[in-house]
Structures are given as structure tokens and as C-alpha cells.
Chain A
Amino acid sequence: MAAALRVAAVGARLSVLASGLRAAVRSLCSQATSVNERIENKRRTALLGGGQRRIDAQHKRGKLTARERISLLLDPGSFVESDMFVEHRCADFGMAADKNKFPGDSVVTGRGRINGRLVYVFSQDFTVFGGSLSGAHAQKICKIMDQAITVGAPVIGLNDSGGARIQEGVESLAGYADIFLRNVTASGVIPQISLIMGPCAGGAVYSPALTDFTFMVKDTSYLFITGPDVVKSVTNEDVTQEELGGAKTHTTMSGVAHRAFENDVDALCNLRDFFNYLPLSSQDPAPVRECHDPSDRLVPELDTIVPLESTKAYNMVDIIHSVVDEREFFEIMPNYAKNIIVGFARMNGRTVGIVGNQPKVASDSISFTPWNYARRQYRPYFAGCLDINSSVKGARFVRFCDAFNIPLITFVDVPGFLPGTAQEYGGIIRHGAKLLYAFAEATVPKVTVITRKAYGGAYDVMSSKHLCGDTNYAWPTAEIAVMGAKGAVEIIFKGHENVEAAQAEYIEKFANPFPAAVRGFVDDIIQPSSTRARICCDLDVLASKKVQRPWRKHANIPL
């Protein structure tokens, strides 16, 4: 502009240079056209990622492109992209060549909406350098994370990356660390979700690991620190990618991933479904969605669901399904540490976190693939017992709910902590403490229903009145005691002859809800069929619950 004015001034004074002025103006206009063209070109190129050939290859593997994934995840037309023009800055190894520059580099970032609610999203583009992480790639991710934290909206990462951009060296590593730092800063502030839709290896795995939820796509996604080749050279183990870090491994054995879905389309549809349960940030209350299920609905089948024989199993998921809105329950880690059930549901439209012991051991052993048997010890879960894995699973879930204002409903049928050397050597004491810690620390509304057994220390742990449960109910079938009658009688009446009579006496005295009820450790003994109505009513009242904790820098959970 200034240049143009100057040229005009010169032109006024020196009319002889009029022709020169025309030339200058022409050159200015043509330059503008070329910029527009360049913008368009860049945009077009960016939309094609690594090019049609690589897109076809991606499709052939049964995977969608980064942009196709975003289009399925977000409401139609809601995606607002940022940094489409960012390119990598590496000049080594011929990377500066035009053919090695891709507008937007290997990640698509921006914001959009899921069912009308704001979300920030990044989607790694495997068609550009295998989705590898360059400095620019990391910078793009960091930018939207920073903004998500500022405005208070969740971040969803769609991971599909071969790892670090090796050509960039330490710049790439720095990029990872920048992301990790933001993952940690955002933790407990906004929900962070990772959906692994391709490889995610090496240092890259720690970003999903730091987020609140990690989901995987079956057969096409892998998570591992070191791949099969390195494993072979270091430990001489023969293992496939799928065995080492596939969806099955991480959802059944390692507990790294929270759920796996059939394919990209299924995963993205489910992610939309899941997103609806979450508040946008820790400043927001649990979302309340329109609900058609009457809050005072009675559930007659619950009156007979707990078997009369206290050793007989039943399925706690049945209870959960029939209590929550419309039987909708989004279970988290359904195939890992099955002795505890955690997941999201709604009560009268409001999101709640459900924690329940699972008295039914539906062993997966037969559906496990042979390699599980051949090489690894099978992990048993005992009839709703708390063990290392279930304690950690439960604790993490409880802490998420507490961080994001999601009320907790706990269904208790727990015979105790799992005994044995494996558990003691594995540190059941410190791991069990995590669940205890999480429940005690939680200040969200806590409603607890004891359906049957609540024995020993495990009774205390499972959101008991003593850990500031807001409302604690017992069903008439509840047995709240230090231990089962047989064990108790063996200790109290050691050496006595009439053990049976003593056992009957113990059952009469303790294997019922009264000892706890007379002490006020449960607020009421309720008819099971009224459970839903009671919980809905309590949650309405507890919506305004406020708890002040003494100031501290941060708490010190026994990790």
C-alpha cells in the first residue's frame, strides 16, 4: 500500500513516467491473482494429504484418511480447520525439496462440534510421511490443545502415526514432549480422548497414555514402546504386532486401552456416542440430555435378581441395565479386570459414573486365542473380589468422574480382597489403596447400593458411608460383615464342637443389613425395585453438593 502511494506520488510529479506507473499497477494486480491461486492450490493439495496413491493405499488397508475420519466424527459442516498452510521446516536429507512439502504436514487439526457441542480435534495423516511427527506437526497439535484448555472444551486425538520424523531428529522428540506437557496441563481440566486408528509406537504412546481414555480399532491399530523386531533382538521373543500391541492385548491383558471397536466407522460412531456422556470441562456440570425414561420407574425384576444362596452368582450388569435410563450403559474396559464393572450411564438424563462389583465370573478363557495360554499366565478374577487390576481400573475411573463432576453410583457385592502370594507380591496393598483413595477423595455426589456382600476392608473401600458416601442403601439381601459366616465362626469358635449352630447364629446376627443400619452406616434398607427412583431423587438433591477441602498443592495418591 505504502509502496503504491509512493509510486502514485512519483507518478504525479513525473508524468513522463506514466507508462512506468501503469506497469507497476499491472504487476501489483497480477501478483494478487497469483496469491489467490497459490492459496487455492495449497488448499487443494492439503485436502489430498499425501496424494491419491497414498489415499488408495490407506483405504486398501481398511483405514480411512485423516479428513474422512474428521468428517465422520464431527457434525456435518462444523469443522473449522487451523494451520492448513503449516509445513515442516526440515532441510536435511532432501526434505526441503518441493515434493517433500505438504501443506498442513502430517496432521489435520481444528475444532468442530459433536451433537452441537464444541470439541477440538487432531487427526494424524498417515498418507504424509506415514503420519510421522515433525516439529510442525507437534506445534499444530499443541496450538489446538492450548486453545481447548483456554476455552474449556475436550480434545480428541485420532492417532495414526509411524512415530518420530527421523529426519528432524531431536526437534521431533521436543515436539512429543511439548504434547506430553499439554496433556498433563489439560489433565483434569478438559476431557482428553485418544482413538488409536493405526500404529502408535515408541515415545508417541505416552500421549494416549496420559489422556483420560484410549480407544482402539480392532486389527488395524497397535500401541507399543518397541516393535516386534526390537523385542526379538533384545529378549529373543517371537511376537507379532497384533500380539504385542493389538486391540485385544490392550483391552484384555495390559489394560492400556479402554475399549476396542470393529473398524474406523464403528469406532467414530461410538466415539460420538461416548462424547455425549462427558462434560466439556471441569468447570461444567455433568451433561443432562433429554430423557424419556421415567425417573420414578419401578424395576420389579430387581426384587428377585439376587439369588437366595449367597454363593450363587448373578450378573451385576443386569442390575445396572435395569436401573439406568433406557438400559444404555457405555462400559469402560469391559474385557479387563472383569471383577469390577465401570462405565457411564444416565439417570434421568444426567450422566453418572457406575462402579459395580461383578459377582458373576463369566470366564473368557475359552474365547482367548491359544497364544494367551501357550505363553502367558491367565489372569483369573474372582467372583467380584477386589484385586490389583480391578482396584486400579476402578480408581482411575472414579478419579475421572470426580474430576469432571460426574456423580458416582456404586453397586456393592464384594467378598473381600483377593488373597494369595501373587496378589501380595504384586502389591495389592498399594494398589488397593488407590481405589480407597479415589473414593475417599471424590467430592461428587456418591450414592451406594449394597446388593449382597460387603465384607471386610473391601466394604470400607467401596464408597462406604465412612468415606463420605452421600447416600448409602442396602437391599434386604445385603450382608455387611467382617467376613463370611463360615470363616468368622472358625475364628470365633475355634475348637468348639457345635460349629453349625454357631454359624447359624452368626448368619442370624450379621449376615443381614441390620448391624449396619442400626449404626447409620446405611441410610436405608430399600426395596430393590425402588432403586432407580431413589437414586434419581437423591441425585436431584445432591446436584448442589459442595465440599471444601483444605488447601494443598496436589494430593499424593499411592501410585
Chain B
Amino acid sequence: MAGFWVGTAPLVAAGRRGRWPPQQLMLSAALRTLKHVLYYSRQCLMVSRNLGSVGYDPNEKTFDKILVANRGEIACRVIRTCKKMGIKTVAIHSDVDASSVHVKMADEAVCVGPAPTSKSYLNMDAIMEAIKKTRAQAVHPGYGFLSENKEFARCLAAEDVVFIGPDTHAIQAMGDKIESKLLAKKAEVNTIPGFDGVVKDAEEAVRIAREIGYPVMIKASAGGGGKGMRIAWDDEETRDGFRLSSQEAASSFGDDRLLIEKFIDNPRHIEIQVLGDKHGNALWLNERECSIQRRNQKVVEEAPSIFLDAETRRAMGEQAVALARAVKYSSAGTVEFLVDSKKNFYFLEMNTRLQVRVDSGIQPGSDISIYYDPMISKLITYGSDRTEALKRMADALDNYVIRGVTHNIALLREVIINSRFVKGDISTKFLSDVYPDGFKGHMLTKSEKNQLLAIASSLFVAFQLRAQHFQENSRMPVIKPDIANWELSVKLHDKVHTVVASNNGSVFSVEVDGSKLNVTSTWNLASPLLSVSVDGTQRTVQCLSREAGGNMSIQFLGTVDLTLWPRLECSGTVMAHCSLDLLGSSDAPTSASQYKVNILTRLAAELNKFMLEKVTEDTSSVLRSPMPGVVVAVSVKPGDAVAEGQEICVIEAMKMQNSMTAGKTGTVKSVHCQAGDTVGEGDLLVELE
């Protein structure tokens, strides 16, 4: 068995502007896709259930009611388990999450504040209030949010509410980087040479850096993940790094301590799962390689790592267990290591949680809030070997139907077919090395382009033919035009291609710029996913939109022919995991997998030459209130960049909230209203530049 994880990410802002509203996140075929995912996840579930059963006795006294202090898929998962165990659940949610899946699943739900997490899911007072109100006996924190917050654990203990998860000691020990490193050192776990503690000034930082030897990495001790991480290659950079990191440490975390350590170039990120119980037992499970990262967030994970040998694996596992014992770890957790090219491994950090799970916290109709984690789904595929797991992952990615949001499927798909990735030549720098200017989408080869053009043309003709299929009306017969060869002009990326298509039943013979292709499909024009065979090659395409004027947008990734890949010998289970995330608009592969074509008949294309280029309309830069009302919220401030269709402010009139959107893309010049203002019809609200 082999497996992979991946994740997809929509671009919320763009999605909100798009033709497809965000509510329509997944359509019918998405359900199919979800089924797909769930099928795989079931195998995964079995694993976790086995793990869970280590200390679980069905007759054991549990709780009557617990509060789940989390949201999204993790909360759903906890609630589902509770239901199985007959425990009542209380969900907490923010304003914007009121109708999300976890709230619907839980027996009770309490709103703990407005959308920003600091005011809701991290709002300890409100959550403590909710616990008291609902008389929950225990709290499951899920992961993230308050799960590793020792203050929260302490508050709960004071109220005699059980905290389900690692105890305060372990959280405290592992939640703090410096402390965890000290502990690791004591437990004889390999650590990266470095210094941790309060660094007096820049000169001291330079002295420490020289002792460790360049390059070094500087970051705030309290910061998680790669946030605020700076790399210094010389004294000067160390001084800068010190200044920025200490500022950040003070402002973001209120904790001055810094971590300066040896920077490992081109490291792999490999983590070991550990399980401990209250009796001091601990064991390790196999590793997962998470080297493919974007902004230090895992993008693709793989198990087992094709890099480790049995000896290294065992050594890492033993050290991970030693660490778990040292902190009296009584739960599931993950010990993260960096591994250099010579298979030297160094302890990075320990997460007091177990990450093995595929699920989706959203369903069709869910609103993906811009306030929270952008992950919309995780996908895990298995295979008897790596090739099979990757092939399944590529297929599964092609079968995701996501509408209304922009996502990272194209990137995930590119990564898993990248030759370096396939060879196993990866590091945490993979994405920045392979896509130095950011991911720009799949580059079509000539034959792929011909395939795309052939599929698009066939679709066009299929739509045209379907338009003539009426239920026969005896009064006036339909006389279908007899067109043997459809002569088309297809525009893709500003290049015009000549296409001649003819069809015989479900087979289209298409000549694209002189080369002939046969396209076969069921031509179900209502299906969001269309499986097409082009000269025997299977492709999955999605027709995202189609206009009478000939514009068509097609999602075409193509299923890569994996038989061409070098077969890699792997033992044991190989899994891959990718997380489907929402992407920030800045580096979004917006339409990476989406191709816009314009198809016209030859006649229309010839006449189209006479059509004038449209002068881009000068849309007004002024947003005025169309009605008297009260300003409920203003979403922009001067200097903000806004996109067409983006919400500028909300005005409540007649008890309806009206979203005022930007009529063009631009920069906010001035804002003339604020929340709470009463405005009259025609009042100036916002000016754009």
C-alpha cells in the first residue's frame, strides 16, 4: 500500500466575485468526489480507531456532555466520535459560522463572538461562559486554537472541567520551542546546534551566530511554524534578523526570547507519530514526509518517505519515543524532524496532536469564511506502491468539482507529476525552487494543446447539435441543418486555430491545425465532469462556463500517463496527502487549470473581424448610497486595493443588509462613512482612484 495526501485551496475574494457564488461550493459531482474521498478515508479511519482503542473500554465511564472548542472538519470529527460513544456535544461558533456543518451536527451550539478568531474561537472568557451555561463536563479542543494553550488548560482545571488532550505539563513543555528543545536535549534527542534564550543585543546575536557557524536561522521562540523565521548568512544579516525578530517577538507574542540556530540548507521535513498513555508507555508509528511546503504550510505529505532507510527510521522513532516519555506524554502527538542530505536528523518540534485524518468540514452550500483556515479538503490516496498512490491522487484531483472559489488543485497536480518529485528529489524548498516566480499554471505541450482544442471543439459541436434536438412537434416539423463538417475557428491564448470537426454518434473526428484526433465521450452536457478519450488517452475535463457568443472556459488538467514514470521500489504502505487550501489572492494560480477558449463557426469568425475593439469603459470611481439607510460595516480603508465586485461596505435599509460592491478594480482613495453612520440617498460613501 502506498498513499498520498493533498489539499485544495480556493481564493475566497476571487470566488466571491466570480460567476459562481461561493455558496455553490460543490455541486452534485462534488458529492461523488466526496464519496470518493470518504472511501479512502474509511481505511484511514480504521487506522485511527485501532489507535484509539489502545486505551478505550466501551464500558468505561466517559462524559455525558462535552464542549468542542473548535470548528470545521476537526470539530465535525470530534462530534461524530462523541455521537458514537453516546456523548452529547456542544459546538461553539462565531457569527459567520452559525450555519456551518459542525454547528448543525452538535446537540447544542453557543455563539462565542464575532468572526475574528481572537474574538471567538480564542475568546477564553466566552468559551468558559459557554461551558458554564451548557454544563459541559469536558472540553475537546481539537487542534490549533486553544488546544495547546496552557492558560486555557489551567482555567478548565480551576473550574473542574476535564481537558481532553495532552496535559498541561506536556503542552507547556512542547508548546514552547526553547523548553521543548531543552527537554529534547535532556532526552538525548538530536537537536540542531543553536542558542535559545534572551539575546541582549545585536552584537550578542552576532557572537552566537558565529559560534554556531553560518548560515543561521533567527526567530521568536514563542512563534509557531515558520512565522517570522529569518535566515542570516553573515553578521550584517544577523543584526537585521535580530532586530526584526525581537520586535516581532515583543509585539506578536509578548515574549522577548529568541531562537538562533544552525540553518539546515535543503532540509527534508519528516515527522514521526507517537502515542503515549498515562502509565508511561509510548510507541512510535511510521514517519510521514512533509517536505513540500508553501509558506511553511504542508502541501503534500507522503508516507513512507522514500528517503529514509530502515536504520534512520528506527533511530528517529526511538528518539521520538524517548522524548514522549520524557514529557510523560499521554496522548497522540507528532515529533517533527529536519533531515539533511546525509540523513542526519534534528529535532524540530513536537506537536501535541495526531494528524491523520481526511475529511471535509464543508458541504455544498457551505460558506467558506475568509476568517479561518483556508483548507477546504484533504485528500488521501493509497496504493500498493508510490506510482499507484500518485496515479490515484491525480485522478482524484481531476475529479474534484469545485465552483465559486479559486483553489490550488492545479498546483497540487503539477507537484505530484513533477519529475523531481517523482524521483523523490525534494526538500522544504521544493516549491520555491521549482516555481521561483510562483506557480503560473500548467504549461500545455503541443499535443496537450491539440487535445484541449479538440475536446473544446467537440463540446461546442455537441452543444450545437443538442440545440436542434426538440421533442417533435407535429404542427411544424424541425428540419435540422445538414452539416457534415463543422468548420470552426478556435481562439486560445490569443492564437487562432483552424478546426474541422465531424461527428458520428459519440465519436468526433477533429482536425486541429492539420492533425487529426478522435474524441469520444458520453457527451453528457449536464455533468460537471466529463470523461473524454482523445485518441485513446483518458482525460477528465470540466466545462466551467459557456456563452452563446462562443466563450467557453474549460478545466483541463489531463490525467498524466503514469506508465512513463520510473517505477520506484517501495516497501510498506505509501500514502500521499495533500491539503486543498484557499489561496491568498497575491500568489494565486487563479485559473491555472482553466482555459478560456472562444469558438466560432468559420463564417462567424470571418465576420467577427469587422467587430470593433471595445474601449474599456471608464467606470465611475464614486460609490454612493443608493438609498437611505445605516452603514453596518465598511470593509475598506484608504489605500486598500479592491477588486471589481468586492464588497466595499454594507448598508442596512428596510431591515435588509445591502452589500455595496466596487464597480471596478482599483485603490480606495477616500472613505466617507463609518459603521453606524446614517446615510441618505446619493450620499458619497467611498471614492476609488
Residues of chain A with a CB closer than 8 A to B21's CB: 315, 318
Inter-subunit contact B481/A300 (CB<8 Å)? no
Known: A113-B481, A378-B624. 18 other contacts (CB 8 A): A64-B607, A71-B603, A75-B481, A116-B478, A218-B614, A219-B614, A262-B614, A264-B610, A266-B549, A301-B364, A305-B365, A318-B24, A326-B525, A362-B659, A369-B618, A378-B626, A382-B627, A415-B656
Q: Is A289 an interface residue (CB 8 A)?
A: yes
Q: Is A26 an interface residue (CB 8 A)?
A: no
Inter-subunit contact A361/B624 (CB<8 Å)? no
- Report how far A264 CA is from B620 CA in the complex, Å: 26
Q: Is A505 an interface residue (CB 8 A)?
A: no
Q: Is B604 an interface residue (CB 8 A)?
A: yes
Q: Is A13 an interface residue (CB 8 A)?
A: no
Residues of chain B with a CB closer than 8 A to A364's CB: 663
Inter-subunit contact B31/A300 (CB<8 Å)? yes
Inter-subunit contact A265/B652 (CB<8 Å)? no
Inter-subunit contact A304/B23 (CB<8 Å)? yes
Inter-subunit contact A369/B473 (CB<8 Å)? no
Partner of B626, one of A312, A313, A380: A380
Q: Is B564 an interface residue (CB 8 A)?
A: no
Interface string of A301-335 (1 = CB under 8 A from B): 11111011011111100100110011000000000
Partner of A289, one of B470, B653, B688: B470
Inter-subunit contact A363/B549 (CB<8 Å)? no
Q: Is B608 an interface residue (CB 8 A)?
A: yes
Inter-subunit contact B604/A311 (CB<8 Å)? no
A-B contact count (CB 8 A): 226
- Report how far A269 CA is from B601 CA in the complex, Å: 10
**Which residues of chain B in 345-377 are interfacial with respect to chain A, using CB atoms and an 8 Å cutoff?**
363-366
Partner of B364, one of A61, A293, A300, A349: A300
Given contacts A269-B549, A305-B23, contact A361 B611 (CB under 8 A): no
Residues of chain B with a CB closer than 8 A to A276's CB: 467
Inter-subunit contact B466/A64 (CB<8 Å)? no
Interface string of A115-159 (1 = CB under 8 A from B): 111100000000000000000000000000000000111000000
Binding site for B on A (CB under 8 A): 59, 61-64, 68, 71-72, 75-78, 113, 115-118, 151-153, 218-219, 261-266, 269-270, 272-274, 276, 280, 283-285, 287-294, 297-305, 307-308, 310-315, 318, 321-322, 325-326, 349, 359-370, 373, 378, 380-385, 415, 484, 486
- Report how far A218 CA is from B481 CA in the complex, Å: 30
Residues of chain A with a CB closer than 8 A to B626's CB: 361, 363, 365, 378, 380-381
Inter-subunit contact B548/A117 (CB<8 Å)? no
Q: Is B527 an interface residue (CB 8 A)?
A: yes
Residues of chain A with a CB closer than 8 A to B476's CB: 117-118, 151-153, 280, 284
Residues of chain A with a CB closer than 8 A to B611's CB: 62, 262-265
Inter-subunit contact A302/B365 (CB<8 Å)? yes
Q: Is B515 an interface residue (CB 8 A)?
A: no
Residues of chain B with a CB closer than 8 A to A262's CB: 549, 611, 614
Residues of chain A with a CB closer than 8 A to B527's CB: 292
- Report how far A287 CA is from B660 CA in the complex, Å: 39
- Report how far A261 CA is from B469 CA in the complex, Å: 26
**Which residues of chain B in 581-626 are interfacial with respect to chain A, using CB atoms and an 8 Å cutoff?**
600, 603-604, 607-608, 610-612, 614, 617-626
Would you give the shortest CB distance from A364 to chain B, in whole angstroms? 7
Question: Dominant SS at the A interface?
Answer: loop
Interface string of B217-243 (1 = CB under 8 A from A): 000000000000000000000000000
For this complex, 17 residue pairs linking A to B, each with C-beta atoms less than 8 Å apart, are: A62-B612, A64-B610, A72-B604, A76-B483, A115-B481, A152-B476, A219-B612, A263-B611, A270-B549, A285-B473, A289-B466, A292-B466, A297-B28, A361-B627, A365-B624, A365-B663, A383-B658
Q: Is B309 an interface residue (CB 8 A)?
A: no
Name the residue on A nearest B650 (C-beta): A313
Would you give the shortest CB distance from A251 to chain B, in whole angstroms? 14
Interface string of B127-142 (1 = CB under 8 A from A): 0000000000000000
- Report how far A219 CA is from B613 CA in the complex, Å: 11
Q: Name the residue in A292, A299, A361 with the highest tally of chain B Cβ atoms < 10 Å from its Cβ.
A: A361
Would you give the shortest CB distance from B627 to chain A, in whole angstroms? 4
Partner of B658, one of A273, A280, A363, A415: A363
Name the residue on A nearest B623 (C-beta): A366
Inter-subunit contact A311/B657 (CB<8 Å)? yes
Residues of chain B with a CB closer than 8 A to A75's CB: 481
Residues of chain A with a CB closer than 8 A to B24's CB: 301, 318, 321-322
Inter-subunit contact A366/B660 (CB<8 Å)? yes
Would you give the shortest CB distance from B660 to chain A, in whole angstroms? 6
- Report how far A290 CA is from B656 CA in the complex, Å: 40
Residues of chain B with a CB closer than 8 A to A367's CB: 619-620, 663-664
Would you give the shortest CB distance from B413 to chain A, in whole angstroms? 25
Residues of chain B with a CB closer than 8 A to A77's CB: 481
Inter-subunit contact B478/A303 (CB<8 Å)? no
Inter-subunit contact A359/B656 (CB<8 Å)? yes
Inter-subunit contact B607/A484 (CB<8 Å)? no
Residues of chain B with a CB closer than 8 A to A361's CB: 626-627, 656, 658-659
Q: Name the residue in A61, A294, A318, A373 with the highest tally of chain B Cβ atoms < 10 Å from its Cβ.
A: A318
Residues of chain A with a CB closer than 8 A to B84's CB: none
- Report how far A318 CA is from B481 CA in the complex, Å: 35
Residues of chain A with a CB closer than 8 A to B28's CB: 297-298
Interface string of B644-677 (1 = CB under 8 A from A): 0000100011111111111110000000000000
Partner of B481, one of A62, A76, A269, A370: A76
Inter-subunit contact B656/A304 (CB<8 Å)? no
- Report how far A381 CA is from B42 CA in the complex, Å: 50
